[in-house]
Homo-oligomer: A and B are copies of this chain.
Amino acid sequence: MRTEQRRIAEGILFTDQYQLSMAQLYFRHGLHERTAQFDHFFRRNPDYGMHAAGYCVTAGLEWLLDWMETARFTDEDIAHLRSQRDRAGGQLFADDFLAYLRATEGFAGLRLRAIPEGRVVHPGVPLTTVRGPLAQAQILETALLNQLNYQTLIATKAARIRDVSHAAPVLEFGLRRGQDRGANAGTRAALIGGADFTSNVGLSSILGLAPKGTHAHALVQVFLALGHSELDAFRAYAEVYPDDCLLLVDTVDTLGSGLPNALKVFAELRAKGHQPVGVRLDSGDLAYLAIQASLMLDQAGFPHATIVLSSDLDELVIWQIQTQIVQEAPHYGADADAIMQRLVYGVGTRLVTSHGEGALGGVYKLVAMQEDGGDWRPAIKLADTAAKLTNPGLKQVWRLYDQRERATADLVTLEDERPDGEECLRLRHPSDATLQRQLVRANLARIEPLLIDVWQHGERCGSRPTLEQMRERRRADVAALDSGVRRLVNPHIYHVSLSQQLWELKQELLAELRGASGK
């Protein structure tokens, strides 16, 4: 795509045609400036096939706001829209509607509240609420879902990989397997969700992180092709990077050639007063090779040398490698814990594509419309199954912490409810009328509102959080989960409940709509 095309394809026309068709209809019927509220939420956690997530980690909001700050209808955008034809050959979008779009100043009329990036979130909870003129709120849908769905998906996968990796560093390597420039969003989300560093140079630069990476198989191949050896390649590397010497040892033969050559070079480095960093294993039986590499490094006097593992890793593969190391290390007289403590995980394709579930089904649903007089009319969307019904009205989300400071449930209430002031909380299951529980306020350590203002009057509210702040939220929120919810496979289901008031509103609207439709 050429640069001038990028301005069109990545600006405010980064949307679906039906948003504009609907916007024109609202305009024609005088509804475009009516205040509406849409909720953004997802219905279920990612299910990776053999295993499912027990929670998600939000991400993408700040980049969405960056986009909103600059997105507006330019003359060029308007010209493209004006050129669209209806089937009768006429202009699809009329000039008065286009003049309205041109005058909107993008999304200046909207007010967004959201659960900040890096927080643990659950199905059915509004992650973002959008309030404002109906036409603007409608046009925003596509870009909002695009940004928040993908980054949340990847932050979630990264959080799982982070969790299984315990204290070991996790490196993100997925740039070659992401979707075009969208891979940068994947890198960012991975860093929020749990990756410590990335190989992505550009993204590291803008985030102020040190990008990670040493050499690929190509380096050894170049030396071999020119009649030199793997050892020559390693020596060349050590010469240029004496204090950052991490060698990829599987180009020729990991145990027979790569590791022995690396150890020679490490000894030479040590003799010159440098500390080698370690080795990387990128193929073969990584658990077995990690044990052997660890033994060889120890024996050669490099007990602090790192072992980086890569090659289609994800949370289950890492877990399996760890399990195998624990089981097999003793057979070789090795200490499994010591091996584990020197491991670093390099994760590429399976993180940036969220292997097993390549999309988060986040949706954007109308929950209320303001009437002429200013009163809100709640909206609900019928569905085949009770679980797919939307929750109507203007809402707030509260996280309830028990005395251990563990998150015990998220409570979705109407916006003006104040559950923190109530003595006894009644929690209703979102769709099953028979399930409810009562919580005594005194038994809760804390009740925290999750949605905060993030966008108003055409600009973000408050300052941009740093990467470290987002990571800190994620660490705190993951730590506050019960271990059953964090379980990699078959996790315990975290409770998301409705307040009694919201539940009653939902039932009223349902009865009304079903009565009307005879369903």
Interface residues in chain A, defined as those with a beta carbon under 8 Å from any beta carbon in chain B: 1-3, 5, 8-11, 13-22, 24-26, 28-29, 31, 36, 38, 49, 63, 66, 70, 77, 80-81, 84-88, 90, 92, 134, 138, 141-142, 145-147, 149-151, 173, 175-186, 188, 199-206, 210-219, 221-222, 224-227, 229, 236-237, 239-244, 251-253, 256-257, 275, 277, 283-284, 349, 352-355, 358-359, 361, 365-366, 368-369, 371, 377-379, 381-384, 513, 516-519
Closest B residue to A187 by CB, please name it. B9
Closest B residue to A201 by CB, please name it. B13
Chain B residues in 8 Å Cβ range of A377? 225-227
Say yes or no: B201 contacts A16, CB within 8 Å. yes
Say yes or no: A18 contacts B216, CB within 8 Å. yes
A65 to chain B, nearest CB (A): 10
A138 vs B222: C-alpha distance in the bound complex, in angstroms? 11
Chain B residues in 8 Å Cβ range of A365? 217-218, 221
A482 to chain B, nearest CB (A): 30
Say yes or no: B18 contacts A180, CB within 8 Å. no
Cβ 8 A contact of A253, one of B240, B371, B517? B517
Chain B residues in 8 Å Cβ range of A241? 21, 25, 86
Say yes or no: B18 contacts A199, CB within 8 Å. yes
Cβ 8 A contact of A175, one of B15, B81, B368, B383? B15
A87 vs B245: C-alpha distance in the bound complex, in angstroms? 10
Closest B residue to A221 by CB, please name it. B366
Say yes or no: A243 contacts B86, CB within 8 Å. yes
Chain B residues in 8 Å Cβ range of A88? 242-243
Say yes or no: A283 contacts B180, CB within 8 Å. no
Closest B residue to A16 by CB, please name it. B199
Q: How many chain copies?
A: 2
For the complex of A and B, the 6 pairs showing the least CB-CB separation, nearest first, are A182-B182, A179-B182, A17-B213, A18-B213, A353-B358, A13-B202
- Contact A519 to B178, CB < 8 A, known contacts A358-B355, A513-B224: no
Task: Give 5 CB contacts A-B under 8 Å.
Answer: A1-B63, A87-B275, A181-B182, A217-B381, A229-B516
Chain B residues in 8 Å Cβ range of A359? 177, 349, 352-353
Say yes or no: A224 contacts B10, CB within 8 Å. no
Chain B residues in 8 Å Cβ range of A242? 88
A141 vs B90: C-alpha distance in the bound complex, in angstroms? 47
Say yes or no: A181 contacts B178, CB within 8 Å. no
Cβ 8 A contact of A25, one of B8, B186, B237? B237
Which of A36, A178, A361, A516: most chain B CB closer than 10 A?
A178
Closest B residue to A178 by CB, please name it. B179
Closest B residue to A366 by CB, please name it. B221
A505 to chain B, nearest CB (A): 13
Chain B residues in 8 Å Cβ range of A2? 66
A299 to chain B, nearest CB (A): 21
Closest B residue to A283 by CB, please name it. B384
Chain B residues in 8 Å Cβ range of A146? 175-178, 180, 183
A362 vs B202: C-alpha distance in the bound complex, in angstroms? 22
Say yes or no: A224 contacts B379, CB within 8 Å. yes
Which of A11, A84, A176, A212: most chain B CB closer than 10 A?
A176
Say yes or no: B184 contacts A28, CB within 8 Å. no
A221 vs B226: C-alpha distance in the bound complex, in angstroms? 69
Say yes or no: B519 contacts A244, CB within 8 Å. no
Say yes or no: B513 contacts A202, CB within 8 Å. no
- Contact A86 to B9, CB < 8 A, known contacts A213-B18, A214-B18, A349-B359: no
A220 to chain B, nearest CB (A): 9
Say yes or no: A17 contacts B199, CB within 8 Å. yes
Chain B residues in 8 Å Cβ range of A183? 146, 179, 182
Say yes or no: A201 contacts B20, CB within 8 Å. yes
Chain B residues in 8 Å Cβ range of A240? 24-25, 28-29
